Amino acid sequence: MRFFFIVQGEGRGHMTQAMALSTMLRSNGHQICRVVVGESNRRIIPKFFFEGIGAPVAQVASPNFITDSENRSVKLWSSIIMAFSNLGEYRRSIRTIHRYVKEDQPDVIINFYDFVGGIYNKLKSPSSNFICIAHQYLAGHSSFEYAKGGVFDKVTFRLGNWLTSLGADKRLALSFQEYSDEKMKVVPPLLRKDVQELNMTNEGHLLIYLLNYGYAREIDKFHQDNPEIVLHCFWDKPDTATELKVDATLTYHQLDGEKFLRRLSSCHGYVTTAGFESVCEAMYLNKPVMIVPVQGHYEQACNALDATIAGAGVSVESFDLSIFLDYLPNHKTDHGKFKDWCEKADHLFLKNLVG
């Protein structure tokens, strides 16, 4: 079968999910004819994605979050206003996607939570099956617990789920844990084979991933107070060296898939904003996680709550790593249960995508 991917370019999670699914499908004799990535001026698509996706990649304009002047918290209203002001660009994106779909004639289009992708499916009604994959869709399950927030937070979260899956033939909800069967299709995380083949060690450092590089100020402050703790931090700050070595115990790295996984497999613990995919990677490698949801990003608050329920680690409101150091000796989780759930991925995805 021929597959066509549409991938949200915000953060790295949707991209690594697409990479994992591409490998799975290609190893079972299927073809990824093209991958379209929704981009914005605020994010650079990392090199490891182009190298690892195994298909031609095209980029189109797509909505993304706007952050404050310090590149820390999300400004939701500004993001909504910006999306409406760029409607002309998004119409061009829809036309571009439609042209590619007509050229490639895929059997299945898979949308990894891109807003333009969902609207494209509704407006153009392609003959291909349209299947949507994201952790966010788990919010429709009766067992899902929402984080504390106002009515507007929940409404916009549900609106995002609706927009990205307009007219979908099927929605697959990625989950930290297995749930009883309902109308919703709940599936395991999409982990790259590179993650599953890693050897776990503990070299004593803490690994940090910053979705928004403005949080580096908190990392710098902790480092000044605790220079003996070895920190490796990944970010996507523009115009910064591939590796910025502050001193012997603090290094900032630009996003690099292979390097990130090496540091993850050998860390003592992992600190991250509350993306779904990298938390799953840490859980698979039995690494405790400290989760810091991006301020103003309700979806991440829900991710953090869901992850802590599943035993990933601890959720906090700031990058005060001393909290994590106090937590680490007491971390307990059922690693075997999570790993068994992940091992079901190939069977469940092929069943839902290929039949």
pLDDT tens, position by position, for the chain (355 residues)?
A: 999 999 998 767 899 999 999 999 999 999 999 999 998 766 678 888 999 999 999 999 887 665 555 555 555 555 566 666 677 788 999 999 999 999 999 999 999 999 999 999 999 999 999 999 999 999 999 889 999 988 888 988 899 999 999 999 999 999 999 987 777 899 999 999 989 999 999 999 999 998 778 889 999 999 999 999 999 999 888 889 999 999 999 999 998 888 999 999 999 999 998 789 999 999 999 999 999 988 878 888 999 999 999 999 999 999 999 999 999 999 999 999 999 999 999 999 999 999 7
- Asked whether residue 170 falls in the same domain as residue 237, the answer is no
| Cα gap 340→213, rounded to integer Å | 34
DSSP 3-state assignment of 35?
Answer: strand
Place of tokens 């404050």: 68
- Asked whether residue 332 falls in the same domain as residue 208, the answer is yes
- Asked whether residue 162 falls in the same domain as residue 228, the answer is no
Q: What is the residue type of 172?
A: L
Structure token digits, residue 248: 């012997």
- Asked whether residue 186 falls in the same domain as residue 274, the answer is no
- Asked whether residue 330 falls in the same domain as residue 186, the answer is no
In order, the DSSP letters of 219-252 are HHHHHHH-TTS-EEEEE--TT--SEEEEETTEEE
| Cα gap 352→114, rounded to integer Å | 20
- Asked whether residue 175 falls in the same domain as residue 202, the answer is no
Handedness of CA 298, 301, 305, 307 (dihedral sign): positive
Q: What domain count does the chain have? A: 2
DSSP E strands in the chain: the ranges are 2-8, 31-39, 57-61, 108-112, 129-134, 170-174, 185-187, 206-209, 231-235, 243-247, 250-254, 269-272, 289-291, 313-315
Which residue range(s) make up the domain with 45?
2-192+343-353
Bridge partners, residue 35, by sequence? 5, 57
- Asked whether residue 221 falls in the same domain as residue 138, the answer is no
- Asked whether residue 84 falls in the same domain as residue 119, the answer is yes
10-47 as b/e, with b when 16 or more CB fall inside 10 Å? bbbbbbbbbbbbbbbbeeeebbbbbbbbbbbeebebbe
The phi, psi pair for 232, rounded to 5°, reads: -120, 120
| Cα gap 12→92, rounded to integer Å | 24
- Asked whether residue 104 falls in the same domain as residue 253, the answer is no
pTM (2 decimals)? 0.88
| Cα gap 60→39, rounded to integer Å | 6
CATH code at position 76: 3.40.50.2000
| CA-to-CA dists, residue 195 to 76, 172, 278, 349, angstroms | 33, 22, 10, 18
